Amino acid sequence: MAYIGNRRVGNMIVFKEIGAKEEQEKAISITENGSYDVTPDDGKTLSKVSVVANIDGGGAEINNQDKTITANGTYTADDGYTGLGEVKVAVPETETQEKSVTITQNGTVEVTPDSGKALSKVSATVNVMPRLQEKTVTENGDVVADAGYDGLSKVIVNVPETETQEKTVEITENGTVEVTPDSGKALSKVSVTVNVASGGGGGGSGKLALTDLEYFYYNGARLNEIPIDSIDTSNATEFKYMFTNCTFEEMPLLNTRKGTNFQNMFYNCKNLKNVVTYDTSNAVNLGFMFNGTSIIQAPAFDARNAEILQYMFANCSALEEIPLLDVRNATNLSSIVSSCTNLKILVLKNIKSTLQVGSYNSYGHLLTVDSLIGLIYELRDTGSSKTLTIGNTNLNKLASVYIKTVAITDEMRAEDDLIDEKLPFVVCESTDEGAMLITDYPQLKNWNLK
pLDDT at 2: 45
pLDDT at 3: 44
**Residue 60 clears pLDDT 70, i.e. is over it:** no
Strands (E), 116-261: 117-126, 132-137, 151-157, 164-171, 186-194, 208-209, 231-232
Final residue of a structural domain among 349, 368, 397: 349
pLDDT at 152: 83
Q: What is the mean pLDDT of residues 127-139?
A: 81
Kindly report the CA angle at 428 between 422 and 434, in degrees rounded to 5? 65
Question: pLDDT, tens digit, for every residue of 299-316?
Answer: 989 999 999 999 999 999
pLDDT at 252: 96
pLDDT at 10: 55
Q: Is residue 312 in some structural domain?
A: yes
The pLDDT-based confidence of 56 (bands split at 50, 70, 90) is low
Q: Is residue 129 in some structural domain?
A: no
The pLDDT-based confidence of 44 (bands split at 50, 70, 90) is confident
CA distances from 325 to 78, 93, 134, 286, 415 (A): 89, 67, 34, 11, 15
Q: Is residue 31 in some structural domain?
A: yes
Q: What is the mean pLDDT of residues 113-123?
A: 87
Backbone angles phi, psi at 369, to 5 degrees: -60, -40
Provide the 3-class DSSP secondary structure of residue 218.
Answer: helix
Q: Which of 16-20, 90-94, 124-128, 405-409 has the lowest mean pLDDT?
A: 16-20
pTM of the full predicted structure?
0.56
Element spanning 65, H or E: strand 65-69
CB 152 within 8 A of CB 137: no
For residue 224, how far is the Cα from the chain centroid? 46
The pLDDT-based confidence of 373 (bands split at 50, 70, 90) is very high
Distance of alpha carbon 201 from alpha carbon 173, whole angstroms: 9
Final residue of a structural domain among 316, 349, 382: 349
Distance of alpha carbon 426 from alpha carbon 441, whole angstroms: 11
pLDDT at 151: 85
**Residue 381 clears pLDDT 90, i.e. is over it:** no
**Residue 16 clears pLDDT 50, i.e. is over it:** no
Distance of alpha carbon 37 from alpha carbon 55, whole angstroms: 18
CA distances from 155 to 151, 293, 396, 424 (A): 11, 14, 33, 45
Question: pLDDT, tens digit, for every residue of 390-414?
Answer: 999 999 999 999 999 999 999 999 9
The range of the structural domain enclosing residue 206 comes to 164-349
pLDDT at 200: 42
User: What is the residue-averaged pLDDT of the chain?
Assistant: 87
pLDDT at 353: 95
Strands (E), 336-443: 345-349, 355-356, 386-389, 402-405, 425-428, 436-437
Question: pLDDT, tens digit, for every residue of 188-244?
Answer: 777 776 665 444 444 445 789 999 999 999 999 999 999 999 999 999 999 999 999
pLDDT at 202: 45
Q: Is residue 445 in some structural domain?
A: no
Is the pLDDT higher at 16 or at 266? Answer: 266
Question: pLDDT, tens digit, for every residue of 140-168?
Answer: 778 888 887 888 888 888 777 777 888 88
Backbone angles phi, psi at 366, to 5 degrees: -95, 0
pLDDT at 1: 43
Closest listed residue to residue 402, CA positions, set 380, 379, 419, 425: 425
Q: Is residue 423 in some structural domain?
A: no
Residue 419 one-letter amino acid: I
188 shares a domain with 45? no
Is the pLDDT higher at 99 or at 267? Answer: 267
Q: What is the mean pLDDT of residues 320-337?
A: 96
Number of domains comprising the chain = 2
177 shares a domain with 48? no
CB 306 within 8 A of CB 285: yes
Q: Is residue 310 in some structural domain?
A: yes
Strands of 386-389's sheet, edge to edge?
355-356, 386-389, 447-449
Final residue of a structural domain among 294, 329, 349: 349
pLDDT at 391: 95
Q: Is residue 324 in some structural domain?
A: yes
pLDDT at 343: 97
